[in-house]
């Protein structure tokens, strides 16, 4: 069986865009009705959104310390990704390496033609060839599914709400004429932030299932990804907490979160539980092999 676009993910991405647009419009309408400087807020948010869109790759690289590597530096890694790109019908992305004791990987970029796949140096010595191929196929599936752009847009709406939440108390104290309006805006912003974050995390969890499924079809070896996920998860627990905590800000990008089980609720988790991902891959194995 060949890799096919996940209809469930496509439907969720479309629904996420619609709901986020609706929430955004309602939110801006509330700000305007309250007489707040909504255009100023919009301009700042749009500016930050454009920076995220065009420079998300560089921003994530700066945050993680990833460095783009050429073929002469890591020929085996380049050949592995080239082979998988042929299987996945994708242009070859940029390839980067992170120096980290955490065995992990991520993909970023706004489109298949502007994408990057990064791995840590430790993952390359933790996994065998088949397992590493499965992890790379998982990251390429994110690119093929185009789910990275949707996560960026979802984060944009949450960012606007967060900006207002973080500033409404200051504004209400120092602007007596509109103090009440800023308090109402802060409450509305809190509701919008919770909703958009929950929506973003729900999509984040499902996109991991879809990328696992895509990797299994690209490599035709779901067992390799199951083994890789178990190895990464087990090794992650032995990485110092301080190191993992420092990487928590990019949790949603990693194949296994740097910090797991620390969320206020499962609704705010970036990844599904490992057991559920393994169960999903076992179901894919039945589709591919019939057992």
CA 33 to chain centroid, in Å, comes to 34
**Number of domains forming the structure of the chain:** 1
pLDDT for the residue numbered 173: 47
Q: Per the confidence metrics, is the pTM higher than 0.85? A: no
* 115/57 Cα distance (integer angstroms): 7
The answer to the question of residue 1 being in a domain is: no
* 254/258 Cα distance (integer angstroms): 8
Nearest to 180 by CA among 164, 192, 168: 168
pLDDT for the residue numbered 15: 80
Residues of the chain with pLDDT below 70 are 1-6, 31, 34, 36-42, 44-45, 48-49, 52, 152-160, 162-182, 249, 260-267, 291
Query: Side-chain half-sphere of 181: how many Cα atoms within 13 Å?
Result: 14
- One of 57, 131, 133, 139 is an active-site residue; which one? 139
pLDDT for the residue numbered 250: 75
The answer to the question of residue 272 being in a domain is: yes
pLDDT for the residue numbered 214: 93
The answer to the question of residue 2 being in a domain is: no
The answer to the question of residue 158 being in a domain is: yes
pLDDT for the residue numbered 198: 82
The answer to the question of residue 244 being in a domain is: yes
The single residue listed with the structure tokens 């920076």 is 51
DSSP 8-state assignment for residue 255:
S
* 65/67 Cα distance (integer angstroms): 7
139 counts as catalytic: yes
pLDDT for the residue numbered 40: 65
Range of the domain at 185: 7-289
pLDDT for the residue numbered 22: 78
């Amino acid at each position: 069986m060949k890799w096919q676009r996940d209809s469930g993910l496509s439907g969720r991405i479309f629904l996420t865009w619609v709901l986020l647009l609706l929430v955004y419009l309602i939110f801006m309408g509330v700000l305007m009705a309250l007489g707040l400087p909504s255009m100023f807020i919009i301009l700042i948010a749009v500016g930050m959104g454009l920076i995220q869109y065009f420079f998300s790759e560089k921003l994530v690289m700066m945050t993680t310390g990833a460095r783009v590597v050429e073929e002469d530096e890591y020929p085996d890694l380049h050949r592995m990704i080239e082979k998988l790109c042929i299987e996945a019908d994708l242009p070859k992305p940029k390839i980067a390496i992170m120096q980290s004791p955490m065995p992990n990987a991520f993909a970023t970029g706004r489109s298949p033609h502007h994408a990057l796949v990064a791995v840590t140096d430790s993952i390359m010595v933790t996994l065998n060839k088949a397992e590493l191929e499965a992890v790379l196929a998982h990251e390429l599936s994110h690119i093929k599914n185009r789910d990275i752009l949707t996560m960026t847009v979802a984060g944009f709406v949450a960012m606007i709400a967060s900006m207002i939440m973080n500033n409404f108390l200051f504004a209400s104290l120092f602007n007596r004429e509109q103090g009440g309006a800023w308090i109402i805006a802060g409450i509305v912003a809190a509701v919008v932030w919770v909703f958009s974050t929950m929506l973003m995390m729900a999509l984040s969890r499902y996109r991991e299932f879809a990328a696992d499924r895509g990797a299994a079809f690209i490599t035709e070896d779901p067992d390799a990804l199951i083994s890789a996920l178990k190895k990464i998860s087990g090794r992650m627990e032995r990485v110092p907490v301080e190191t993992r905590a420092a990487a928590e800000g990019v949790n949603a990008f990693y194949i296994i979160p740097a910090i797991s089980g620390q969320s206020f609720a499962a609704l705010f988790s970036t990844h599904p539980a490992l057991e559920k991902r393994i169960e999903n891959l076992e179901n894919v194995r039945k589709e591919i092999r019939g057992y």
